[in-house]
Amino acid sequence: MRGLSSLIASELKITLRDRMGLFFTLIFPLIFILIFGFLMGGFGGADSAALGTALLSERDIGSLQEALKDAGAIEVVPFATEEELSDALSKRKVDFGLLWDGEELRFLYDPARVEGNYAFQQLARGISAEFNLLRQGAVPPIGIREIDAGGIETKGWFNLVVPGIIAFSILSAGLFAVSGHITAMKERRILDRLIVTPMRPVSLLVAVAAVRLAIVYFSTLITLGVSILIFGLAFRVDWAGYFLFVGSATIGTMGLGTIIALLVRRPASASNLANVLAMIMLFLSGIYFPIEVMPPFLRALSQGLPLTHMADAMRYVTGVTEMEPVRFWAITLSLLGIGIVLFPILSRYVVRPSRS
């Protein structure tokens, strides 16, 4: 037991001194949040869109303005000419544009606004449909009452994203613990020296896992804290579930990292592979864009990714969405199981002599 605790202590010291690694585990997720949060704010329907208008004809203008008013969260910005409107659109001063010359209704989009245009086009369809009805004096017979049934009070879309980012940071930490850290130790022959001592390799793995867990808990709490303080987000954390899940997820992703390390021998390649897989999973896991808009096979793929389920579970324990408890336990225990099952295999990997 004494050997194990001194291993843990030395592993802790190494990790704390490795400023680069520390940076990646702690600061990186925060950078991610900042950048992506600001950039992707518009996806899936902006909270409000700025529509630039160039109304070059007086015909039916009353109906048009009525339709614009009914269109919901739109801020109308008038321009005198089409050139001014195009210019404002390309400079991102407005999100999309509307031209009316008395005969034809023309909506103008910036092809670069990939993630927003879908929503803008929906708004445009709504406006033109409403306009057509109003100018003929017709009133749509069926109304729609929108009711928010989300179930939990949250502070907007970003509130949903942050738990997903936390899940992602756990994934990275776990993957890199093995494919980066341990594989690097292997290459530097540190493990070889350890093997010839009476200390069992399992003890080293336990030490690495213990330190990694501590770091992950710390970093996820910091991330939560920052989101609350800087972005004013709201969470209702189930602390017991939180600690249990974060722990299982870390161990489980370490197990996944083992698979990578077994496939690829050099630490440079292993951490590169882990990097790529993590990035792909990030895109496909529904953290930033809804899964529903992906092609069918990507949607199916998404369901098979651990990160997708980790993000869902994370949203559940931070009180942002609901989930069936059964599903939560299934996810948590599977992750724990993966980690535990792969541990002995990892030991054997550690014990295998390194090639020169």
Partner 1 sequence: MKGILLLSRAHIAISLRERVTLFWFLVFPILLLSILALIFGNTGGEGNVRFDIALVNEDSGDGFSGMIERAFGEMATPAEGGGEGIFSLAIPRSGQDRGAFLEEEMERLSRGGLAAILVIPAGFNDDLIGALTGEERPAVDLYLNRNDPGSRMAGGIIDQVIAGVNREILIRSGRLDPEGEVETKAGWIGDGEERPGYIDFLLPGIVLMGFFTAGLFGVPGTILYSRDVKILRRYWVSPLTVPRYVAGFAIGHIGLCTLQFGAVYTIGRYAFGARLDFARVDVALVLLLSVATFMAFGFLIASIARTPNGGMAIANILNMPMMFLSGLFFPITGLPLFLLALVYVNPVSYLIDSLRAGLGVGTAVMPGSLRLAVPLGWIALSIAVAGMRLRWDVER
Residues 291-330 that bind partner 1 (CB under 8 A): 291-296, 298-299, 312, 315, 321-324
Is residue 280 involved in binding partner 1 (CB under 8 A)? yes
168 or 343: whose CB is closer to partner 1?
168
CB of 6 to partner 1, least distance (A): 26
Given 65, 128, 347, 354, the residue binding partner 1 (CB under 8 A): 128
Smallest gap, in angstroms, from Cβ of residue 30 to partner 1?
Answer: 12
The span from the CA of 170 to the CA of 165, in Å, is 9
Tell me how far, at minimum, the Cβ of 98 lies from partner 1, in Å: 10
Question: Using CB under 8 A as the criterion, what x/- string covers residues 239-278 for binding partner 1?
Answer: ---------------------------x-xx--x--xx--
Q: Is 51 helix (H, G, I), strand (E, B) or coil?
A: strand
By CB under 8 A, tell whether 115 contacts partner 1: yes
Regarding 31 and contact with partner 1 (CB under 8 A), the answer is: yes
Does 345 help bind partner 1 (rule: CB under 8 A)?
no
122 binds partner 1 (CB under 8 A): yes
The sign one gets for the Cα dihedral 321, 120, 109, 90 is negative
Q: Does 126 bind partner 1 (CB under 8 A)?
A: yes
Interatomic CA distance for residues 17 and 298, integer angstroms = 41
Binding to partner 1 (CB under 8 A) within 178-237 occurs at: none
Specify the length of the chain in residues: 356
Q: Quote the tokens at residue 47.
A: 């909270």
Strand partners, 52: 77, 97
CA 306 to CA 312: how far, in whole Å?
10
Nearest distance, CB of residue 323 and partner 1, angstroms? 6
* Burial grade of 139 (CB within 10 A; 0-12, 13-18, 19 or more): exposed
Does 110 participate in binding partner 1 (rule CB under 8 A)?
A: yes
Contact region for partner 1 (CB under 8 A) — 142-150, 191-199, 203-211, 345-353? 142-150
340 Cβ contact partners less than 8 Å away, ≥ 6 residues apart: 251, 255
User: H helices within 285-355, ranges in order?
Assistant: 296-304, 306-317, 325-351
